[in-house]
Amino acid sequence: MSVDLNSCTGCGACIIACHAENNVPVVGKEEIRRSRDMHWLRIDRYYSSDMTEEKAHQDGLSSIDKFLAMEDASASESLEVVFHPVMCQHCNHAPCETVCPVAATTHSREGLNHMAYNRCVGTRYCANNCPYKVRRFNWFNYSDNEQFDFYMNNDLGKMVLNPDVVVRSRGVMEKCSMCIQNIQKAKLDAKKENRKLNDGDVDCACASACDSGSMVFGDVLDKKSKVYAESKSPRAYHLLEELDTQPSVWYQTKVRNKE
């Protein structure tokens, strides 16, 4: 997958699409306040600060004061914002995979980071060791639970659930699967039609919901694919590249035209 930060407007349609596609539970205000959102995909926002390395050097600020000042967003007209959608990076050298004692999260031959819900015992070690913090834990049973009377607690709400995706029970970890149900369906359709999978046959819910086209999904080993071209773009970079997690998600850095 490639995400272009130039065209991302931060509208949040991808988050909603992901929730709807993958039966991601809605947990309510109380749980959100406890930092227990279940978003498989989130949009990080970065605000520019008036404090810069040069300014700190000129003013002779200590590093503690510099970092504290950097934490405050600029109040002036020159405030700049970056929207940064973050989902599971499907690292090829994934910190989460090595630490699971029961091997519930493993790497597929297609380069996906799999999550086997029914193998997961819920130690949360994978989430702790994820530098992107994209793993989400089912703290409670969110379906059939009066405490979470949003949509998975009544018959009508349950009709909205995607039948191709399992509803997770409590105590298991979950995270972005790159809509593996869509990948599997596209593969099976191609097999039935006795053809190879074409670029554009598969799309993730987030990418199809994105109206600015900033999310591109595909097979990066297919040199004719759009995502391959994006991955070779001079703007392409990996999130926290220095950790050498070798993610499967590329970001296209934001370019600004300014003085």
User: Which residue in this structure is represented by tokens 């659930």?
Assistant: 161
Tell whether residue 122 is a contact of other proteins (CB under 8 A): yes
**Cβ atoms within 10 Å, residue 146:** 6
Q: Which two tokens stand for residue 203?
A: 């799309």
Among 119, 158, 235, 254, binds other proteins (CB under 8 A): 119
**Which of 53, 54, 58, 64 contacts other proteins by CB under 8 A?**
64
What does the DSSP assignment read for 213-245? --EE---TT-TTSHHHHHHTSTTEE-TTGGG--
The interface with other proteins within residues 195-214 (CB under 8 A) comprises: none
For residue 206, the number of C-alpha atoms closer than 13 Å in the C-beta half-sphere is: 31
| Closer residue to other proteins (CB): 37 or 201 | 37
Is 238 a binding residue for other proteins by CB under 8 A? The answer is: no
Give the H/E segment covering residue 45. strand 42-47
**Least distance (Å) between residue 147 CB and other proteins:** 9
Q: How far is the CB of 32 from other proteins (least distance, A)?
A: 10
84-94: b (≥16 Cβ within 10 Å) or e:
bbbbbbbbeeb
Query: If residue 222 lies in a helix (H) or strand (E), which one and from where to where?
Result: none
Asked if 35 interacts with other proteins (CB under 8 A), we say yes
Q: According to the binding rule CB under 8 A, does residue 34 interact with other proteins?
A: yes
Chain residues binding other proteins by CB under 8 A are: 31, 34-37, 42, 44-45, 63-64, 67, 86, 95, 98-103, 119-125, 127-129, 131-133, 135-141, 169-173, 239-240, 243, 245
